[in-house]
Amino acid sequence: MTTLSVLEDGKTVYTREQLFGGRQLTDEIQRRYGMSPEEAGLAKKTGELPDDYEPEVLDPFRTAAVQQISRSLQFFYSSSHFNDVDCIVLAGGTASTPGLVDMIAEKIGTPCVLANPFARMSVASKVNASALANDAPAMMIACGLAMRSFD
C-alpha cells in the first residue's frame, strides 16, 4: 500500500491510498527466483540476489514506484488549489529501496528524503546505528507510538 499524505503547516490537507508497495517487489522476487515469501523478503532486505536482480527486477519496480507517486501527485494537483509540493518524504519499508530517493527526486523534480524518526535522538552504544538508519523509515509508526508516552 502506498499512501500519499500532503501536509501544509503541519496539518494533513490531502490523503490518497494506492494498492502499490513493497509487496509487488517481494512477489516479483518470489516469482523470478522461486523463493518463498520469507526468503524473498529477507533477500530483498539483505540484497543477496542474483546479478540480474537490479536490471531485471529492481529497476522496473523503481520506475513503477516513481510513476505511482507522480500519478498521486497529479491527482492531488488536479483536485486542489496546489500545483507543487516542497519536499517528498518517503517512509515505510520500501522507502529504503536502493536508488529510490534519487530517482524520485530526479524524475519528479522535487527534493526527496528518507524519513528518519531517530534523526535527533541519541542512540545507545549497543545499537547498530547503521542498521537502525536503514530500518528507520519503516519504524515511523512504531516510533511515534512509543513517543506518545513521553508527552
Which pLDDT tens digit goes with each residue over 47-106? 899 999 999 999 999 999 999 999 999 999 999 999 999 999 999 888 989 899 999 999
**68 touches 20 (CB < 8 A):** yes
Residue 43's contacts (CB-CB under 8 Å, 6 or more residues apart) are 29, 33, 35, 49
Q: What is the CATH number of the domain that holds 78?
A: 3.30.420.40
For residue 49, is it within any domain? Answer: yes
Residue 108 lies in a domain: no
Q: Once rounded to an integer, what is the mean pLDDT over residues 116-145?
A: 88
Q: How far apart are the C-alpha atoms of 31 and 35, rounded to whole Å? A: 7
How many domains, in total, are found in the chain? Answer: 1
Cell numbers at 2, concatenated: 502506498
Dist. CA 92–CA 33, nearest whole Å: 24
pTM of the predicted structure, to 2 decimals:
0.85
Tens-place pLDDT, residues 14-23: 999 988 999 9
19 part of a folded domain: yes
Q: Do the domain assignments include residue 69? A: yes
Q: Is position 32 within any domain?
A: yes
Whether residue 62 is contained in a domain is answered as yes
Give the residue carrying C-alpha cell 524520485: 104
How far apart (Å, rounded) are the C-alpha atoms in residues 39 and 42?
5
- What is the per-residue pLDDT across 32-43, written as a single tens digit (0 to 9) for each? 999 999 999 999
Domain with 49 in it: 2-83
pLDDT of residue 151: 57
Contact 66, 107 (CB under 8 A): yes
Side chain identity at residue 37, one-letter code: P
